């Protein structure tokens, strides 16, 4: 999704939502550290030969005669399934960079083994998709209407006729919930949840959650700002609606919060600031959107940015507003934030 769309509070503008979702769930206070639920909830399968069914977060149950083999998925979903040993046939969304390397949203997925239906948000080659004889399309949804993420509005009806769809919600909930849903979906598709890699990754995530909770409790004065950069606007994300920030906040992280009035134009996701006003909020740590369509910290050439205390102190870390929903990829997100809080100097 082009940077120009980041400031628009429409469905297409949700990419910003993804961040500033910075742009661009849960250890609840009394919950378990892993927020775990029944990993098989919503799915049934009888081995790889099927039949197969899965109830998604829209309340839609997809039923097939066999476990789907020809799967098309949003890139980040394909990357999550890859971590569980499930290979999709095609992806849509940011997949490779200009140099041909995997985009950050592709994770460890071997991009040479998938058909790319579109290499940017909202790009989708229907002819290629039809040629795959798809069994199912899997993506996320960033609203309570169940809108399919990165499926073009203008061609969604044509796409829907070719195969049923499954949506995992990443809207207004904590990170552990969609993680559990993807875990259950992977299991229904044949993933071995007892594999060493999967078990180790889940334990690592649980340990990282405990570490982040401990760090936040030990350093309650450290303020964290979630930001994202475009050419003309710096976006400051509020903690509501975004799965990662809602979860981190539940673990005790002290976030900078834009006022509700400031977030109004974005549907409640983020505040727009000009670069001249980028110092409006005081922060000790800045988490910056790591997606390829945003400007990365090393490439920001704004004097006001360079003068921010957190920037001068070197207390800027990456944030993944569209996290790859596997324990393997989410554990480092918690570990990196915990380390930043543990070692941060109070500069605000």
Whether a cis peptide bond, with omega within 30° of 0, leads into 51 is yes
Residue 187 has φ and ψ, to the nearest 5°, of -60, -40
Whole-number Cα distances in Å, 126 to 72, 105, 120, 166, 304: 11, 22, 14, 18, 44
Residue 84 has φ and ψ, to the nearest 5°, of -100, 5
Model pLDDT, residue 11: 39
Inter-residue contact 310 to 225 (CB < 8 Å): yes
Residue ranges of the chain whose pLDDT lies below 70 = 1-50
Q: How far apart are CA 313 and CA 335, in angstroms?
A: 20
Contact partners, residue 203, CB within 8 Å, separation at least 6? none
Q: How far apart are CA 157 and CA 347, in angstroms?
A: 52
Model pLDDT, residue 107: 98
Model pLDDT, residue 28: 28
Model pLDDT, residue 195: 98
Inter-residue contact 304 to 279 (CB < 8 Å): yes
Model pLDDT, residue 212: 98
**CA 102 distance to own-chain centroid:** 16
Question: Which regions of 8-66 does DSSP assign to beta strands (E)?
Answer: 43-45, 52-55, 61-64
Q: How far apart are CA 8 and CA 16, in angstroms?
A: 8
Inter-residue contact 57 to 37 (CB < 8 Å): no
Q: How far apart are CA 335 and CA 248, in angstroms?
A: 11
Q: Which of these, 210, 160, 166, 167, lies nearest to 64 by C-alpha position?
A: 166
Model pLDDT, residue 49: 63
**CA 1 distance to own-chain centroid:** 15
Strand partners, 55: 61
């Amino acid at each position: 999704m082009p940077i120009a769309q980041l400031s628009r509070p429409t469905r297409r503008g949700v990419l910003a939502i993804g961040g500033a979702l910075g742009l661009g769930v849960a250890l609840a206070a009394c919950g378990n550290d892993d927020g775990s639920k029944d990993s098989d909830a919503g799915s049934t399968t009888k081995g790889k030969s099927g039949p197969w069914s899965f109830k998604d977060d829209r309340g839609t149950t997809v039923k097939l005669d066999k476990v789907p083999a020809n799967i098309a998925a949003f890139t980040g979903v394909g990357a999550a399934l890859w971590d569980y040993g499930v290979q999709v046939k095609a992806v849509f969304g940011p997949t490779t960079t200009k140099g041909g390397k995997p985009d950050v949203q592709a994770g460890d997925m071997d991009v040479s083994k998938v058909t790319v239906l579109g290499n940017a948000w909202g790009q989708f080659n229907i002819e290629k998709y039809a040629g795959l004889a798809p069994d199912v399309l899997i993506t996320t949804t960033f609203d309570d209407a169940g809108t399919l993420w990165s499926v073009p509005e203008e061609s969604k009806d044509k796409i829907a006729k070719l195969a049923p769809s499954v949506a995992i919600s990443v809207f207004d909930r904590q990170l552990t919930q969609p993680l559990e849903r993807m875990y259950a979906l992977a299991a229904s598709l044949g993933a071995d949840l007892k594999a060493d890699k999967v078990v180790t990754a889940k334990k690592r995530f649980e340990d990282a959650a405990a570490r982040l909770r401990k760090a936040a409790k030990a350093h309650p004065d450290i303020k964290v700002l979630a930001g994202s950069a475009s050419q003309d606007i710096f976006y400051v994300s509020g903690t509501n609606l975004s799965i990662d920030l809602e979860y981190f906040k539940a673990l005790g992280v002290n976030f900078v919060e834009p006022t509700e009035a400031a977030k109004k134009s974005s549907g409640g996701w983020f505040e727009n600031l000009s670069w001249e006003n980028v110092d409006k909020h005081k922060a000790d740590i800045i988490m910056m959107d790591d997606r390829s369509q945003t400007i990365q910290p090393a490439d920001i050439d704004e004097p006001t940015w360079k003068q921010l205390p957190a920037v001068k102190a070197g207390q800027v870390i990456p944030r993944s507003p569209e996290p790859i929903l596997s324990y393997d990829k989410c554990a480092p997100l918690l570990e990196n934030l915990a380390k930043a809080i543990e070692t941060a100097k109070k500069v605000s």
